[in-house]
Amino acid sequence: MEEVGTGLLDRLDALQRVAASAPGGPLLIVAGPGTGKTRTLTHRIAYLCAELDVYPEECLAITFTRRAAEELRERLEGLLGPVTEAVTVSTFHALGLSILRENAAAVGLTPKFRIAEEADLLAALDPLSEREARRALAAMEPSTREALAKALRARDMVSLDELLTLSVQLLTESPALVDRYRDRWQWIFVDEYQDVDPVQYDLLRLLCPPGGNLCAIGDPDQAIYSFRGAEVSFFLRFAVDFSTPDIDARVVRLTRNYRSSAPILAAAVQAIAPTTLVPGRRLDPARLDLEAPMVGLYPAMSVADEADFVVRTVDELVGGLSHRSHDNRVDSRAAIGAMSFSDIAVLYRTDAQSAPIVDALSRAGVPVQKRSHDRLLDRPGVAAIARELRFATGLGGSIAARVRLAGQVVAGRCGQLDSDVIGLTEADVWTAVELMTPPALRAGSDLDEFLGALATGAEVDGWDPRADRVTLLTLHASKGLEFPVVFLVGCEDGLLPLRMPGSQGRPGSQGRSEDDIAEERRLFFVGLTRAQDRLFLSHSRTRFRHGSERDMAPTPFLSSIDPGLLERRGPAAPRKPKDRQLRLI
Ligand code: ATP
Ligand code: MG
């Protein structure tokens, strides 16, 4: 076994190795972007199992998104092989779901309970009219919450939020249950700990006592979910929360950035400096390529001009769009030494910004794909498919057979029944069903579990990191990813930091609190640090916002960056009709 362990740690740098091989007890890994957090976390789990006789069954790794969980599991499989199956890798919501399934009776549910969809929530608020019910749901006052909980319980349902609140309630009321879970999961790992919210924190505290084997990893400067209730303070007080008089929490910092070129990293560090939550933060470039280009900056005249800048720069990077054949495959000669579309991402603050960029790229023949954080269940038609699948559960047969049956039933009803199925073709249904099935079929688990996975946030956008397409995504959705080339468009005051419609306020304050603005700066930092080799920032002088065309100033965050790191990009060369004629001759 020794050889396996040594080989594992060989792939880490000295600090990563310290973190991965730290003994038990509370461990906080404070690490900036690109310092190998995800790599270190997977190696730590693998090392503990391979070297320290920790049983994979005792390990619980928690992430925020299903996709992150899948990625973690995949990377772990690469290190640990088939025993990875025994490690619990779960999102917070899925963890809540499994705790409730195992103890359904204790909270007034049957083990077959289901997660309420929007229609169920509205129905549960009977006798309110649909409009009143929607308003009550949106406001979600405590009285509504209690009435709703009762009505849902009577229908053998829970809301998505309750997966965690009910789990916490259950464990708080049952010390014996707490002991059982603590015994089962003696080693807990949480990625992106800076984004933990109070309920998730309560659950962790119940599952892991102070002094326990909790490994939390994250970067306070990438905390970008406070609008969802996340509190970075949990990260900052980890050592206080989890140390005991006998056991001090260990803190390891990772400071070597393997992702970005030196100029990109320097610009990012300067951008976050004014509000960094990591005093004395260090982020040293592992890459010291002297020829690395500076950060490109393009002040656009208009949104159309900005989109045009993206198109012509993509054209330069891929070695000329005209070299590409009709089916958008790279002509092999043109690809030599050039970027491919899959290397390129366009990031923006709000989804509304994507349309002009998508249009311009598509018109130029550039294939694009969007990555979003949509829940699969929120997609048109998918709720109906899920309903049919639920119905098919009662019919028996293999999972695959039931899925097929449900697919056929839904497809057969297109345009007749549920309004949310109208417009779905049978092919759409199959795509959805296929996207929904692999994890369930792989685990051979039952359909209920898979429907649960759907309700707890299975995401679908068909995004494929390997596809030969330019990726478009919001700053929030870019978290944790990396691309050789990043465009961050719309670097404008009012968009970044974002000014909400109707907000007033002194100039510079954006009508938002200092905390909000600091979070927007962190979002800017997240964006800059996604780039490996090339980073282009752009802003437009005008933009259509809140119903009218407005003058826009560059984001104040730009002024934190040393102008020496920025290279102003010129406007498009004017087209000379004469040149064209010459070329024709
Ligand atoms: P983020 O905060 O953005 O989520 P992260 O800290 O999770 O970043 P990773 O995605 O794990 O960073 O790693 C960033 C890049 O650095 C990856 O391409 C990874 O393979 C590479 N990397 C990490 N550690 C090393 C190492 N020791 N040697 C070489 N490359 C490394
Ligand atoms: Mg990461």
Question: pLDDT tens digit string along 406-465?
Answer: 655 565 543 333 434 444 455 555 555 555 554 444 447 456 666 666 666 655 556 777
Taking CA atoms only, the protein residue closest to ligand 1 atom 14 is 34
ipTM of the predicted structure? 0.99
Q: Is the CB of 13 under 6 A from ligand 1?
A: yes
Q: What token pair was written down for 333?
A: 């000669």
The residue ranges of the chain whose pLDDT is under 70 are 1-6, 127, 321-337, 373-443, 445-462, 501-511, 574-585
Please give the C-alpha separations between residue 59 and each of 42, 44, 155, 202, 450, in angstroms, as whole numbers: 11, 11, 34, 19, 22
**Sign of the Cα pseudo-torsion (421, 427, 430, 436, in order):** negative
Q: Is the CB of 31 under 6 A from ligand 1?
A: yes
Task: With beta carbons less than 8 A apart as the criterion, state whether 194 and 232 touch.
Answer: yes
368: which strand partners?
Answer: 470
Instruction: Tell me the H-state helices in 125-251.
Output: 130-139, 142-154, 162-173, 175-184, 198-207, 233-236, 238-242
d(CA 38, CA 34): 9
Task: With beta carbons less than 8 A apart as the criterion, state whether 72 and 63 touch.
Answer: yes
**Nearest Cα residue to 353 out of 315, 314, 300, 312:** 300
Q: Terminal CA-to-CA distance of the chain, rounded, Å?
A: 72
| Separation of CA 464 and ligand 2 centre (Å) | 18
Q: Is the CB of 255 under 6 A from ligand 1?
A: no
| Residue-wise burial string across 12-47, b where 16 or more C-beta atoms lie within 10 A, e elsewhere | bbebbbbbbbbebbbbbbbbbbbbbbbbbbbbbbbb
| Separation of CA 345 and ligand 1 centre (Å) | 18
d(CA 287, CA 150): 57
Type of residue at 131: R
* Of 259, 475, 483, 529, best ligand 1 pocket probe by most atoms within 8 Å of the beta carbon: 259
Model pLDDT, residue 430:
54
CA-481 nearest atom, ligand 1: 3
Q: What token pair was written down for 13?
A: 């740098």
**Sign of the Cα pseudo-torsion (493, 499, 502, 504, in order):** negative
Q: Is the CB of 369 under 6 A from ligand 1?
A: no
DSSP 78-119: HHHGGGGGGSEEEEHHHHHHHHHHHTGGGGT--TT-EE--HH
Type of residue at 341: F
Q: Is the CB of 258 under 6 A from ligand 1?
A: yes
| Separation of CA 36 and ligand 2 centre (Å) | 7
Q: Residues 381-412: pLDDT tens digits? A: 666 666 666 666 565 556 566 666 665 556 55
* Of 35, 252, 288, best ligand 1 pocket probe by most atoms within 8 Å of the beta carbon: 35
Model pLDDT, residue 294:
97
CA-13 nearest atom, ligand 1: 27
**Nearest Cα residue to 529 out of 318, 291, 281:** 281
Write out the binding residues for ATP: 31-38
CA-530 nearest atom, ligand 1: 3
pTM greater than 0.90 (yes/no): no
Q: Is the CB of 285 under 6 A from ligand 1?
A: no
% helix, strand, coil for the chain, step of 5: 50, 15, 35
Type of residue at 275: T
d(CA 585, CA 578): 11
The number of beta carbons lying within 10 Å of the beta carbon of residue 220 is 18
Three-state SS across 319-352? CCHHHCCCCCCCCHHHHCCCCCHHHEEEEECCHH
Q: Residues 202-251: pLDDT tens digits? A: 999 999 999 999 999 999 999 999 988 999 999 999 999 999 999 999 99
Q: Is the CB of 527 under 6 A from ligand 1?
A: no
Q: Is the CB of 218 under 6 A from ligand 1?
A: no
Three-state SS across 222-270? HCCCHHHCCCCHHHHCHHHHHCCCCCCCEEEEECEECCCCHHHHHHHHH
Q: Is the CB of 35 under 6 A from ligand 1?
A: yes
CA-38 nearest atom, ligand 1: 11
